[in-house]
Chain A
Amino acid sequence: MKTDATLDCIGLYCPMPIYNTAKKIKELKPGQVLEVLADDEGIKEDMPAWCRTTGNELLGIEEENGEYKAYVRKAK
């Protein structure tokens, strides 16, 4: 997937991945895609919930060897 920025949250626990995502997304332009790397399983529920609440679009979450990649498109 083509991404415009990557945020590394490996080793961070809730609520830091969400907090860092909220901070990072401000640097992006509407329509751009942010990739969030995390290894706290909570991200599987938290990122969809965060996107629903903030209006950003969740493009998907990939899981590989206990690590997660979440893709978020910044809302228009």
Chain B
Amino acid sequence: MAEKITLVVFSGEMDKAMAAFNIAIGAASMGMEVSMFFTFWGLNIIKKNEGPIKSRGMMRKMLNFMNRGGSKRLPLSRFHMLGLGKWMMGKLMREAKFPSVDELIATAKEAGVKFIACTNTMGVMGLSKEAFISEVDSFGGVAAYLAEAKEGRVNLFV
């Protein structure tokens, strides 16, 4: 049976997402079974880029307006500088032919990486399944994570 690796993707920044996907793709290439659990701000990485995020109640509407998310909207964890830093980093990455977050998501899926969205955070933030990209395999909670992590040889928190 293949060895397992799990990643808890808590952060919603572009650079951290890239690091997480790189490890996931690398692990899949090494023949490992990979699960990525997206929770809290990490859910932003797997939100659809297009369309409004529907939620109920004033506070949730405000939260989802300020915290829109989507792979193309992720800030940098350092030197974001209102988007200037991200623009510069994006330019450098494109010049170096470094894959974008979208390309990394596509490659991860092609490599068989499983995406799981945390239903707890979705509940708090009032997010429905429709807010997420179709690449998400399942929606689960901490037990779903632990059942995988228990058998994981490598478990990371990003």
Contact = CB atoms under 8 A, between A and B. Distances in A.
A18 B26 contact: yes
Nearest to A20: B29
Interface stretch (B94-102, B119-127, B129-137, B142-150): B94-102
- Interface footprint category on A: 10 to 19
Contact of B29 (A11, A12, A50): A50
Interface residues of B, number: 14
Contacts of B97: 11-13
A5 interface: no
B89 interface: no
Contacts of A11: 97
Contacts of A13: 96-98
Interface string B1-27: 000000000000000000000110110
A22 B31 CA distance: 8
Contacts, number: 35
A54 interface: yes
Nearest to B21: A15
Contacts of A19: 25-26, 28-29, 107, 111
A12 B107 CA distance: 14
Most buried by B among A12, A14, A19, A21: A19
Nearest to B104: A15
Interface string A3-19: 00000000111111011
Contacts of A53: 30-31
A15 B25 contact: yes
A41 to B, nearest CB: 14
A19 B96 CA distance: 18
A50 B99 contact: no
Interface of A: 11-16, 18-19, 21-22, 50, 53-54
Interface of B: 22-23, 25-26, 28-31, 96-99, 107, 111
30 contacts: A12-B97, A13-B96, A13-B97, A13-B98, A14-B22, A14-B26, A15-B22, A15-B23, A15-B25, A15-B26, A15-B29, A16-B99, A16-B107, A18-B26, A18-B29, A18-B30, A19-B25, A19-B26, A19-B28, A19-B107, A19-B111, A22-B29, A22-B30, A22-B31, A22-B111, A50-B29, A50-B30, A53-B31, A54-B30, A54-B31
